[in-house]
Amino acid sequence: MRRRWTRRAERDLDAIAEYIGAENPAAAATVVLEIIGQVEALLPAYPAIGRPGRVGGTRELVIRGLPYIVPYRLRGDDVELLRVLHTSRRWPGRFR
């Protein structure tokens, strides 16, 4: 399956890198690469690995070892990565 990061998910990754990078640029790169690495390693081969999502029609990949969740949708042969959310954030009621 192909992965397709939405613009919003890409902006989330940028915001994570900026926030962590203000204190520790090396850690910022490590965190972002780990999130991307887990998505790339798991979802193409196991698209249903994520738990059922809180928003209808979605699933959620919990990023192991980090406080982030990647909600996604399965669309044909694509995995649409919707956001990258910190676990302490308020969960959106829907994804655009």
Per-residue pLDDT tens digits of the chain, which is 96 residues long:
899 999 999 999 999 999 999 999 999 999 999 999 999 999 999 999 999 999 999 999 999 999 999 999 999 999 999 999 999 988 888 887
pLDDT the model gives residue 64:
98
- Look at the chain and report how many structural domains it folds into: 1
Instruction: Give the helix/strand (H/E) hosting 60.
Output: strand 59-62
Domain assignment of residue 39, yes or no: yes
Domain of 73 in residue numbering reads as: 2-86
Domain assignment of residue 95, yes or no: no
Q: How far apart are CA 12 and CA 32, in angstroms?
A: 10
* pTM, 2 dp: 0.93
Q: How far apart are CA 57 and CA 20, in angstroms?
A: 31
Domain assignment of residue 32, yes or no: yes
pLDDT the model gives residue 45:
92
CA atoms in the 13 A half-sphere facing the CB of 14: 7
